[in-house]
Structure 1
Amino acid sequence: MDNVYDTLIIGGGPGGLTAAVYLRRFRREVMLVDKGNSRLDLIPVTHNFPGFPDGIRGLQLLDNLRCQLGRYGGAVTPGEVSGLRREGDCFVAAFEGGEVRSRTVLIATGIADAGLPVENWREAVAAGAVRLCPVCDGFDVLDKRIAIVSSPENPVSHALFMRTFSASVTLFERDRESAMPAEHQQQLRDAGVRYIASPVLGVTMSHAMKPVIHTEDGEDHHADVVYPMLGESARSDLAAGLGAATADCLALEVDEYQCTTVAGLYAIGDVVKGLNQISVAAGHAAIAATHIHNTLPRRFR
């Protein structure tokens, strides 16, 4: 059993890296595999992660966590786990043409955003013209002209939430099949939110990197920032393939120790049902890693 890891961590975002730091400090043998799709590397600066009063770039936070893991003999292995199965007391993961065996597995694979035509997507996100999380950065767009594209799950709640931060909030309809109920339209009017019923065709950027929202009626609407509210699905296929229960948007269901419905299979961060935040992922990681350590056979050195 010397070639069996204590824990295989799949995903090297803030959650996976934090869990790896904890487990290495517990003297556990860990392999962390990451294919480089962390949403954190899209974030130009986050201002609501504790301990950084001036904010920190997403890439810098990832670098800091990798460096911290390296201090304890850990590292990130680039690549993708393409399959996961159970054999006796171990999990077996298919990886780069070979196999990796571990006693436990921690899924930290995050979510995949759905699509909306946005010109120069990465550049627009880097410039702060396109934003992905009202909870994360609403305070950072105080008094800006805010455009929000409706989502089927929360047709008006995001617009009402952002009204806290600006008097200029416009909600755009995503598609022509959606019919805004009268009570929702009244909520918008009561809050002073403008509503554009003509569906969005796409978003382009002005020369000053400001979003221009193009609607089906031929109108162009200028804003300072746009929240496309893309919709999402959790990257939970590896866990679901083992029978782990999922909820809305394929998010994994976990218990108070971040364990899925499959024994020994844990999940943390955005792939889990709940609030998608960096600090939440870090908290998940601490809980899961500590429980994993306490449930694995002890090693006395």
Structure 2
Amino acid sequence: MSTHPHAPQSHVHDTLVVGGGPGGLTAAIYLRRFTRDVALVDKGNSRLRLIPVSHNYPGFPEGVPGTTLLGNLTAQLERYGGTVTHGEILGLRIEDGVFVADCLPEGAPDDARREIRAHTVLLATGVADAGLPIEMWREAIAFGSVRLCPVCDGFDVMDKHIAVATSEVNPVGHALFMRTFSAEVTLFERMSPTALTDDDRRRLAAAGVRLVDSPLLSVTLDASMKPVLHTEDGQEHGADVFYPMLGENARSGLAAKLGAETAQCEEIVVDVHGATSVPGLYAIGDVTVGLNQIAVATGQAARAATHIHNRLPPALRTASTRPPSPGTTM
């Protein structure tokens, strides 16, 4: 059984997984353990690579670096005969009831595209963060002075001076959420004119959240790698940690072009099994509507992979050539 996406074009895989983050790798592991023929293509944009240490992923009491978790999942997939192809899926279409993906391997010229055919496709393509000028952004995230997920690591910044920027969808919600972890929370407006309502201001005041009305322009780092927030009125504001609440857009273009239903921030609408509105097309993790968490993505992967396996024609085995496990008898 071929598991490699560079198989002949006439070959049809059971499933093409697009995205090699925790969700995509977990789905591929499940499918390989179901003996399914899987192709996995990863562009290398998993946000997990940005996480210096995750303390809220189950089973790692001392925390786990994002790169370590990705490495462990990749090694586990390889244990079951799966591989990760580094490259990009540039297009996805349906021909004669089969999904056909245009794959450009990493480092290859544009004319070196290859087609990958599959009966089903599972998208685990994640999201792309929107922008806010932050000096040495990646270094600040690695150091822990800039953080992206209050749900993930609010506990880890207990009692620190926390700065939060307003977001378009829920301008004060994240600042109020962080009051669970610190008495010193400052919310910075980044829109002019302000998007805050009188009710928003009352809620902030009642919770003891300081509000800086002058729009936030940029963020630099001081000598100790702590954030310094620069506002339109020329003031500088120091903090221990900054949550920019950048906003994000789901990498859902492949699904949208096939007619899959999307919602706010271009997130893909799926059912409980991860199925989209396009038959045979599935999506899991941050690219879908819901809570963006590693544990959520891996749980969705397990459910979607099991559903895909049960919907595909049975993978019937011939006589086994696998040697017996130690201690067993024939």
* Matched residue, 1:72: 80
Aligned pairs for 1:56-205 (under 5 A) are 56-96=64-104, 97-205=113-221
* Matched residue, 1:14: 22
**1:179, CA displacement in angstroms?**
3.6
| Amino acid paired to 1:81 | I
Instruction: Return the match for 2:305 from 265, 289, 292.
Output: 289
> What is the DSSP-based 3-state SS (H/G/I as helix, E as strand, rest coil) of the residue aligned with 2:17?
strand
**1:265, CA displacement in angstroms?**
0.1
**1:178, CA displacement in angstroms?**
2.2
Q: In 1, distance between residues paired with 2:64 and 2:245?
A: 23
Q: In 1, distance between residues paired with 2:15 and 2:195?
A: 48
| Amino acid paired to 1:18 | T
**1:2, CA displacement in angstroms?**
6.8
**1:156, CA displacement in angstroms?**
0.6
Which portions of structure 1, spanning 4 or more consecutive aligned residues, are displaced by more than 6 angstroms? none
Identical residues among aligned pairs (%)? 64
**1:175, CA displacement in angstroms?**
1.7
* Matched residue, 2:6: none
Tell me the alpha carbon deviations over residues 40-97 of structure 1, each in whole angstroms, 9 at most, x when there is no partner: 0000000000000000000000000000001000111000000000012210000121
Instruction: Return the match for 2:39 from 21, 27, 31.
Output: 31
Q: In 1, distance between residues paired with 2:286 and 2:249?
A: 10
Larger Rg: 2
Q: In 2, distance between residues paired with 1:293 and 1:259?
A: 13
Q: In 2, distance between residues paired with 1:66 and 1:145?
A: 37
Q: What's the Cα RMSD here?
A: 0.9
| Amino acid paired to 1:38 | S
**1:152, CA displacement in angstroms?**
1.1
**1:256, CA displacement in angstroms?**
1.2
Q: In 1, distance between residues paired with 2:195 and 2:37?
A: 54
**1:245, CA displacement in angstroms?**
0.2
Counterpart check, 1:253 vs 2:269:
yes
* Matched residue, 1:50: 58
**1:181, CA displacement in angstroms?**
1.0
- Checking the alignment, whether the CA contact within 8 Å between 2:171 and 2:195 is kept in structure 1 is no
| Amino acid paired to 2:279 | A
Which deviates further from its counterpart, 282-291 or 174-183?
Answer: 174-183
Q: In 2, distance between residues paired with 1:243 and 1:137?
A: 36
**1:176, CA displacement in angstroms?**
1.2
Alpha carbons of structure 1 residues 134 and 152: separation in structure 2 relative to 1, 3 Å: same
| Amino acid paired to 1:89 | G
Tell me the alpha carbon deviations over residues 110-145 of structure 1, each in whole angstroms, 9 at most, x when there is no partner: 000000000000000000000000000000000000
* Matched residue, 1:238: 254
Q: In 2, distance between residues paired with 1:177 and 1:111?
A: 28
TM-score w.r.t. length of structure 1 = 0.99
Segments of 5+ residues of structure 2 without an aligned counterpart are 1-8, 105-112, 318-330
> What is the DSSP-based 3-state SS (H/G/I as helix, E as strand, rest coil) of the residue aligned with 2:295?
helix
Tell me the alpha carbon deviations over residues 162-181 of structure 1, each in whole angstroms, 9 at most, x when there is no partner: 00000000000012122421
Tell me the alpha carbon deviations over residues 96-116 of structure 1, each in whole angstroms, 9 at most, x when there is no partner: 212110000000000000000
Q: In 2, distance between residues paired with 1:196 and 1:293?
A: 53
